Structure 1
Amino acid sequence: MSAVKNVIKDNYNMMLLKDYLREQIKEAGFSHAEISKTPTGTRVSLHVTRPGIVIGRKGVGIRELTEKLASDFELKNPQISVVEIDKPELSPSVMCNRMAAHLERGTAFRRATMWTLQQIMNNGAMGVQITISGKLRGDRSAFEKHTAGILPRAGHHADVIVAEDIAHVKTAMGLIGIRIRIARKEKFVPEFELKTSKAKKHQVKDELTGKMRDETAAEKKARTESEQIAMEEEKIKEMELLDEEEEKLK
């Protein structure tokens, strides 16, 4: 067999293996697998959110999985290690699976999308983009794309910073595809400066000392109901409504 055919066969087997692991250890929060060949066999590192489910009681689960990989996927002497993921919300594979589970349970696709987006950003992501496509509301296929934060789109820096994954889920309306791209701050390229918005400061009089001091916008409190309404009005104007985003996509 030529070298090209060997590469194609190995890639195809890795694709089948990933699909099998995604379904077999779904309850353990499977993210991805790192496979490397060693002189003594094949080393397989499984990255999951709950290692105990993979290992099983007295190691029964991991022994059965080892036998399965050796017999069905022809891995020579597989040596499985389980690695726990620190922040599951920053793993595209885990979040794709969670969002797919929400859709399978009947959650509205837009509610599931916004919830996933919020969870990823609240756990320290630099940026996220969620694309959902398929028969979302009717017989005709459509897609929606939601983005938050800073997400490089192309180039070397996008390859370094951004991780992505794709999942498919069967619903009553048909097949729906989910694509999640997450940019992580800890992989930020040093030669670029990540600028954060600074809170605006203004001078106020300290009631205790009588001296003027700086007060941030976050610390400012409305003294009257009129000021509270005015502050909220500015925030409401800055809100991006989903209906307006939907009109832009049409």
Structure 2
Amino acid sequence: MATAQQRRLPMYKRIIDDNKKKWMIKEYLNIALTRNRYVDSIIQRTTLGTRIVIIAEKKNRIIGRKGQQVKALADILKSKFNLDNVVIDVIQEPHPEYNARLVALRIADAMAKGIRFRRAAIIALRQLQEANVQGAEVIISGKLTTERSRFEKYTTGIVIKAGQDALEKVQEAVIPVLLKPGIFSVRVRVLPPDAKLSDRFEVKSPEEVQVKQIENKPEEGSESKEGSESPGQAQQ
């Protein structure tokens, strides 16, 4: 009955329902796998069922011993979100040294272990500088030194906060951490070293432009061949 009603739904409502379910699955994975250094997930619907690709800092922390943790997670997703034939693949984050979420998790873990927030933030910025990032920003907010909530900001390099580059090329993550004074927030923004900004351009010398024009110029033989064929085709 539910499937018949789902088929009668308009296309835009089906798309909204699918996106809502994907968002709920991502939120569940974010909460359930935070301690295992979960980064992100990709949810794909196939003809055979649902394929979920989990990106994490280390694969073994998600897979578990002999794949038992992944199997248990697949069973939970089947029962909780009514998914069929759930297949979970786990891949490793290619650049964990400057991933914004992993950096925020490291700072939150250090604060939970009793390390002062300033020291944790400065150590994280030094590691980001060693990873050759173009810019990074760490904002820690909460009851830092007094009973009144406030925030402290630590930056290095260039951090873009407005425009399309800020939306597409700057990584941002917010991680909460519970300590004795209350809940603290760790916000990290990272501009990766390989990000190409739209306001940066390269000036080429006349020699480089001339070489490129010669490479892109078609051969004389092909031009003459095309020119000789065109009158015959026109006569036909």
TM over 0.5: yes
Percent identical pairs in the alignment equals 28
Equivalence for 1:106: 114
- 1:180-221 Cα distance to aligned partner (Å, 9 max, x none): 111112231366149xxxxxxxxxxxxxxxxxxxxxxxxxxx
Equivalence for 2:193: 185
Where does structure 1 lack aligned partners over 5 or more consecutive residues? Answer: 195-250
1:39 aligns with 2:47: yes
Max Rg structure: 2
**Normalized per residue, which structure has more strand?**
1
1:22 aligns with 2:17: no
Number of equivalenced pairs? 193
Equivalence for 1:59: 67
Where does structure 2 lack aligned partners over 5 or more consecutive residues? Answer: 1-8, 203-236
With over 3 angstroms needed to count, the CA separation of the structure-2 counterparts of 1:6 and 1:140, relative to structure 1, is farther
Residue 119 of structure 1 aligns to a residue whose secondary structure is helix
**Normalized per residue, which structure has more helix?**
2
Cα distance, 1:20 vs structure 2: 3.5
- 1:72-131 Cα distance to aligned partner (Å, 9 max, x none): 233332221111112212111111111111111111111111111111221121111111
With over 3 angstroms needed to count, the CA separation of the structure-2 counterparts of 1:148 and 1:141, relative to structure 1, is same
Which is worse superposed, 126-135 or 57-66? 57-66
1:99–1:116 contact (8 Å) kept in structure 2: yes
1:130 aligns with 2:147: no
Cα distance, 1:10 vs structure 2: 4.2
2:92 to 72, 84, 87: 84
Compute the TM-score of the two structures, normalised by the length of structure 1: 0.69
With over 3 angstroms needed to count, the CA separation of the structure-2 counterparts of 1:4 and 1:164, relative to structure 1, is farther
Equivalence for 1:198: none
Compute the TM-score of the two structures, normalised by the length of structure 2: 0.72
Instruction: Return the alpha-carbon distance in structure 1 between the equivalents of residues 162 and 151 of structure 2.
Output: 21
2:153 to 127, 145, 148: 145
Q: Which amino acid in the other structure matches residue 7 of structure 1? A: I
Q: How does 1:229-244 map to 2 (within 5 A)?
A: none
